[in-house]
Structure 1
Amino acid sequence: MSKTKYDVIIIGGGLAGLTSAIHLSMENYSVLLIEKNSYPKHKVCGEYVSNEVLPYLEFLGFNPFEFGAKRISEFELTTHNNKRIKAKLPLGGFGISRYEFDFQLYKLAIKNSVTVCQDTVTDAEFESDIFRIKTKSKGQFQSKIAIGAFGKRSNLDVKYQREFIKKKSPYLGVKIHVSGDFLEEKVALHNFKGGYCGVSKVENDHINLCYITNYKTFKKYKDIDTFQREVLFKNSDLKAVFQNTKPEFDKPLTISQISFETKNPVENHMIMCGDTAGMIHPLCGNGMGIAIRSSQLASLLIIDYLQEKIEKRKTFEERYAKQWRKTFSLRLKAGHTIAYLFRQDWLAPKLLVLLRIFPFLVSLIIKMTHGKLMEV
């Protein structure tokens, strides 16, 4: 890789990093995307995406339904003691695995002349209006703009001494794909004591099961199988879906130290996107949509800055932080509140009774955690 200077360097090749790379390359900027893993790769993720992002994906030249994405219009919620409620999703959504979604976006990025480097970033310094990004194997690169899209936790979070990284995070995520019967138009959220599990179909007719739990609850049991039998299976719907399906993975994928703490959208002049900027509780099921929407916010402002429509870097950074908070703060707060309420085992069944009496509240809650159709 002989070239070392780029207009934009993106650290992290998930949804936020890839969509930003494609968008910026469409404006003929030179983009380097650094991703430590190879494609395709499974990730611990709910794999349900709100339809709010479809206009933007179309703008980027990407149609998820060409790759087998499932159209989702129904929502079901159950509590740990098997109370349930059903509702229509106001905007609807689609189900597609991160294995397929990221891989196809990666191929589109390559087609759009994005340079993709498989390596680990070891340092990122900003000096004299230039970023110097050091990697483990490929050396050092320079750019005017750097986007941090490296996900939930990174060595750069430690380097920048970000507040959330100093705090212990109690959450553990587990994901597996299975095959069996499940309505492809439905996304279900099944609560259990200490957590909740999302269920939805993705391409190849696989069913994605992804749950998050408090590590303190989990560590009482010797392994995942025991935890699932003793805790998850108290929810009869979860028991049925786990016991009446066939695993498609050799073993479940896990991720620990998941943090829902507030993060800054800009750190050390680096523009943060996706989970790097902030995470919504999986209970609200729209982290992938937020990642894609944040990349659009960042890309549009980066284009304005590189075209000198925004003259000062300080102004550019302030605008991004302001727009990010305006777009996502309410969603994240609503997600925190809803997740907190449903974690109270004594309260969750009572909330469900309330939602049955006033069903319009279900639609209202969904709208609070999902945006409107993205404008392009």
Structure 2
Amino acid sequence: MVSTEVVIIGGGLAGLTAGIHLSQKGISVTIIEKNEYPKHKVCGEYVSNEVRGYLESLAIPIQSAEPTAINQLEFETLYGARILQKLPLGGFGISRFTLDFIMYKKAIENGCTIINQTVENCRFDENHFIIETIEKSIYKAQIVLGAYGKRAQLDYSLKRTFIIKKSPWLGVKNHYKGQFSDNLVGLYHFKGGYCGVSKVENDTINICYLTNYSSFQKYKNIASFEKEVLFKNKRLKQILENSVQIFEKPLTISQISFEKKEPVSEHMLMIGDTAGLIHPLCGNGMAMAIHSAKIASELCVLYLNEKKISRNELEKRYSKAWNLNFKKRLAMGRVLSTILVQQTLTLLVLQIVVLFPFVLKQIIKRTHGNPL
């Protein structure tokens, strides 16, 4: 059995951020991540500037990747109605392949231990955690942060309520070479979903879309679905027909759930998508993951280093801070996901957005936070 102060289950954006923050404060951290780095993930790959200052405070060399600077949003409906909206804070485009690898190297530099295994069980006993992996490794920790993503087998053993409900959403992502403005993030509506387009580093276009699985399964494969459904949006058709695919095949993820999740489960602090997933149409998931890691890390420092709060207070404060910062944003995301399932309602809402552009501005405002 290996003892450490903090075990982080999952080494994605939230997990790595927390590992870097905590190790910077002299806390021993073990991150257990099932995949090796670097790795592509289904993701919009746009990061709001609200977290940029925080990332710089952690000395994470984001600029070394030369990310794109994004300050405009282009929104276009299936029927060609278009809005161009300035993003109040703006953000940057960077692939998860690159960003996660940069953060992985920083975590190692800070002294984090990173283990490529899969957690099978985590139990709380006598004020500490026992974590067991499928590979039969056992770890003991004072704190566990859950950062293992949208859904995992561990959710079943923790008996989290959202995991038993089937979700209709499927995500598809691919990288391309082609023509698209560096400073623009595009959101393009198609029947049964929407597609996000933006540039990341190396003059690469990230195209990532979310669709209702019932719509998708009518077609033989992704290529057929895109030609028959996505191409109905003329702007999206133009982008795709004039771009060259980089990946051998698209990445996919199914059962994407926007159901409510608990920020604390069995004394484990949940961060990132493990605590709550905002609809990608809101364009703020990566920043929220980073922000949640900051909140959890700061409270862990109070508990472990400064001994200023009890475990009960740690959990109460985290739940309160999570709800204060993200509850309303997630609620907006759930409203959007509900709307997109219903085609008639979708068209009505999109018409309202086009006729009254300030509605889109309000959605952006309600799903983004202030600079950290």
Q: TM-score, normalised by structure 2?
A: 0.97
Specify every segment of 5 or more residues in structure 1 that has no aligned partner in the other structure, as ranges: none
Q: Secondary structure at the match of 1:62?
A: coil
Which residue of structure 2 aligns with residue 137 of structure 1?
Answer: 135
The alignment partner of 2:343 has SS state of: coil
Among 19, 38, 41, the residue aligned to 1:40 = 38
Q: CA deviation at 1:341?
A: 3.5
- Corresponding residue for residue 12 of structure 1: 10
Q: What SS does the corresponding residue of 2:196 show, helix, strand or coil?
A: strand
Distance 1:126 1:70 in 2: 43
Q: Distance in 2 between matches of 1:166 and 1:357?
A: 39
Choose 60-69 or 208-217, whichever is displaced more. 60-69
Q: Compute the TM-score of the two structures, normalised by the length of structure 1.
A: 0.96
**Aligned runs of 1:1-376 on 2, under 5 Å?**
4-137=2-135, 139-374=137-372
Tell me the CA shift for residue 240 of structure 1.
1.1
**Superposition deviation, residue 347 in structure 1:** 4.4
Aligned pairs, number = 372
Rounded to whole Å, the distance in 2 between the matches of 1:44 and 1:348 is 24
Preserved contact between residue 187 and residue 195 of structure 2 (Cα < 8 Å): yes
Q: Show CA shifts across 1:36-76 (max 9, x none).
A: 10000000001011110101101110242221210000001
The one-letter amino acid paired with 1:274 is: G
Tell me the secondary structure at the aligned position of residue 5 of structure 1. Answer: strand
**Other structure's SS at 2:90 match:** strand
How far has the Cα of 1:140 moved from its partner? Answer: 0.4
Question: Matches of 1:114 and 1:296 in 2, distance apart?
Answer: 17
Instruction: State whether residues 53 and 293 of structure 1, in contact with CA within 8 Å, keep that contact through their aligned partners in structure 2.
Output: yes
SS in 2 for 1:337: helix
Identity fraction in percent: 52
After TM superposition, the structure 1 stretch with the greater mean CA deviation from structure 2, 350-359 or 229-238, is 350-359
1:201 partner letter: K
State the alpha-carbon separation in 1 of the partners of residues 300 and 46 from structure 2. 28
For the residues of structure 1 that align with 2:241 and 2:351, how far apart are their CA atoms?
28
Within 1, Cα distance between the matches of 2:267 and 2:340? Answer: 37
Distance in 1, Cα, partners of 2:310 & 2:28: 21
TM-aligned CA deviation for residue 351 of structure 1 = 3.9
8 Å CA contact 1:80, 1:345 repeated in 2: no
Alignment partners' CA distance in 2, 1:92 and 1:186: 10
**d(CA) in 2 for partners of 1:238, 1:205:** 18
**In structure 2, how many angstroms separate the alpha carbons of the residues matched to 1:213 and 1:230?**
13
Shift of 1:352: 4.4
| Matched AA of 2:69 | R
Secondary structure at the counterpart of residue 188 of structure 1:
strand
Contact 2:259 2:334 in 1 (8 A): no
How far 1:346 moved relative to its partner?
Answer: 3.6
Contact 2:279–2:334 (CA<8 Å) still a contact in 1? yes
Distance in 1, matches of 2:258 and 2:302, equals 31
Relative to structure 1, the CA distance from residue 342 to residue 220 in structure 2 (aligned partners, 3 Å threshold; closer, same or farther) is closer
Runs of 5+ in structure 2 lacking a partner? Answer: none
Deviation at 1:17, TM superposition (A): 0.2
**1:142-174 deviation line (CA, Å, top 9, x unaligned):** 110000000011111010110000111111100
- The 3-state SS of whatever aligns with 1:280 is coil
Query: Does the 8 Å CA contact 1:90/1:363 hold for their aligned counterparts?
Result: no
SS at match of 2:287: helix
**AA partner of residue 25 (structure 2):** E
User: How far apart in 2 are the matches of 1:345 and 1:162?
Assistant: 30
- Amino acid across the alignment from 2:262: N
Letter in 2 for 1:291: A
- RMSD of equivalent CA atoms: 1.4
Q: Which moved more, 1:305-314 or 1:47-56?
A: 305-314
Report if aligned partners of 1:310, 1:316 keep a CA contact under 8 Å in 2. no
Q: Is the 8 A contact 2:61 2:102 kept in 1?
A: no
Cα displacement (A) at 1:356: 4.5
**Does the 8 Å contact 1:84/1:352 carry over to 2?**
no
Give the SS at the match of 1:333: helix
